[in-house]
């Protein structure tokens, strides 16, 4: 349980009553098809499912219903190693919104990792946001892997490295990446020596994956990570086999903004799990390639026309 006060627990109970009334009036969450469940390949080094921008909120019961359907598909899977969260997990960064994940998935034994999104941090003090987000990840993992005083750290899944990035101060829409964090990313990638590495951050680089048009703005930096975008791009571009995985845009697969080769960087943008009604990627890392397999978790159907297979540079 993530709620630590009687008042918070009371609000959460009222929150669930509201959701229950909505679901009763609009029908139970869909049950994904069981005809072709997620099964990790036997020869995959690592496999994970991505959750991007679910933005579960106290006044958004439709999103919660879609999330419940996605959870059914994830729990029916076989052999997944991790769930990778791309931020905007909570619409308003509230503890009771994070509690929804615990209630649905705390009994599912899998490695959780991921970055913050602007919705997770923008309405409160930085120290409160980092503590809440890190505590949530650690509670889901039943460990203390994630820090509770910063958003950036590294972890691995079966030896495959993940560099998690996040804002170094409270921002409303973009991230702020301090010189210290940028230097840290550079050193972490240098130490990898070209081994496949996933860099996880909520917002994409500017002028990539359809931006700024995908954000509906004439401002060049709109929808992107922000003022440090060029600096981060220059760092990532120096190294082979970097997979920059982002969310934030809410662009459906049909809009064709999901993959772009940016210099030496493989830039993958993932649709919102709830806004785009179940669209996401299941990722498998093999000895010679990284495969992003498009899936709708709400319907339980693969979407192979949006798959991305990236050979590993030797």
At 288-313, the pLDDT tens digits run 999 999 999 999 999 999 999 999 99
d(CA 24, CA 15): 14
**pLDDT bucket at 11, cuts 50 / 70 / 90:** confident
Lowest average pLDDT, out of 19-23, 132-136, 248-252, goes to 19-23
On whether the CB atoms of residues 271 and 280 are closer than 8 A, the answer is: yes
Enumerate the H helices of 60-165 as residue ranges. Answer: 61-75, 95-105, 118-121, 126-141
The helices-and-strands tally (H runs, E runs) of the chain is 7, 13
Does residue 19 surpass a pLDDT of 80? yes
114: its two tokens: 């991921």
Q: Is 291 in contact with 283 (CB distance < 8 Å)?
A: yes
Q: What is the pTM of this model?
A: 0.96
The pLDDT value recorded for residue 154 is 98
> Are β-strands 46-51 and 279-285 bridged in parallel, bridged antiparallel, or unpaired?
antiparallel
Rounded to a whole number of angstroms, the distance between the first and last alpha carbons of the chain is 46
As a whole-number percent, the residues of the chain with pLDDT over 90 amount to 86
What is the tens place of the pLDDT at every residue in 140-182?
999 999 999 999 999 999 999 999 999 999 999 999 999 999 9
pLDDT grade for 232, boundaries at 50, 70 and 90:
very high
pLDDT band with cut points at 50, 70 and 90 for residue 1: low
Angle between helices 61-75 and 6-26 (to 10 degrees): 90
Work out the angle between the directed axes of helices 6-26 and 95-105 (0-180°, nearest 10): 60
- How far apart (Å, rounded) are the C-alpha atoms in residues 203 and 173? 9
My answer on whether omega of the bond before 166 falls inside 30° of 0, hence cis, is no
190-219 pLDDT, tens digit per residue, is: 999 999 999 999 999 999 999 999 998 888
pLDDT band at 26 (very low <50, low <70, confident <90, very high): confident
Across the chain, which distance is largest between two alpha carbons, in Å? 56
Confidence (pLDDT) at 18: 86
Q: What is the pLDDT of residue 27?
A: 84
Q: Report the C-alpha gap between 89 and 274 in whole angstroms.
A: 11
């Amino acid at each position: 349980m993530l709620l630590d006060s009687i008042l918070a627990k009371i609000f959460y109970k009222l929150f669930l009553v509201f959701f229950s009334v909505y679901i009763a009036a609009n029908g139970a969450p869909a049950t994904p098809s069981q005809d072709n469940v997620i099964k990790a390949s036997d020869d995959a080094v690592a496999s994970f499912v991505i959750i991007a921008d679910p933005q579960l909120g106290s006044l958004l019961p439709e999103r919660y219903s879609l999330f419940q359907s996605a959870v059914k598909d994830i729990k029916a899977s076989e052999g997944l190693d991790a769930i990778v969260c791309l931020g905007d997990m909570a619409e308003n960064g509230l503890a009771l919104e994070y509690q929804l994940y615990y209630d649905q998935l705390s009994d599912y034994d899998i490695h959780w990792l991921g970055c913050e999104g602007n919705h997770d941090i923008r309405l409160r003090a930085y120290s409160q946001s980092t503590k809440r987000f890190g505590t949530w990840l650690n509670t889901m993992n039943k460990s203390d892997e994630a820090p509770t005083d910063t958003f950036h750290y590294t972890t691995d899944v079966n030896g495959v490295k993940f560099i998690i990035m996040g804002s170094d101060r409270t921002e409303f829409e973009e991230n702020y990446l301090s010189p210290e964090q940028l230097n840290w990313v550079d050193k972490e990638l240098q130490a990898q020596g070209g081994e496949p590495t996933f860099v996880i951050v909520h917002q994409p680089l500017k002028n990539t994956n359809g931006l700024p048009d995908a954000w509906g703005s004439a401002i060049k930096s709109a929808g992107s990570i922000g003022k440090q975008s060029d600096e981060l791009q220059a760092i990532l571009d120096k190294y082979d086999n970097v997979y920059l995985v982002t969310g934030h845009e809410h662009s459906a697969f049909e809009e064709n903004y999901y993959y772009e080769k940016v210099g030496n960087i493989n830039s993958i943008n993932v649709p919102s799990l709830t806004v785009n009604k179940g669209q996401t990627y299941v990722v498998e890392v093999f000895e010679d390639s990284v495969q992003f397999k498009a899936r709708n978790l709400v319907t339980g159907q693969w979407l192979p026309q949006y798959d991305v297979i990236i050979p590993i540079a030797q």
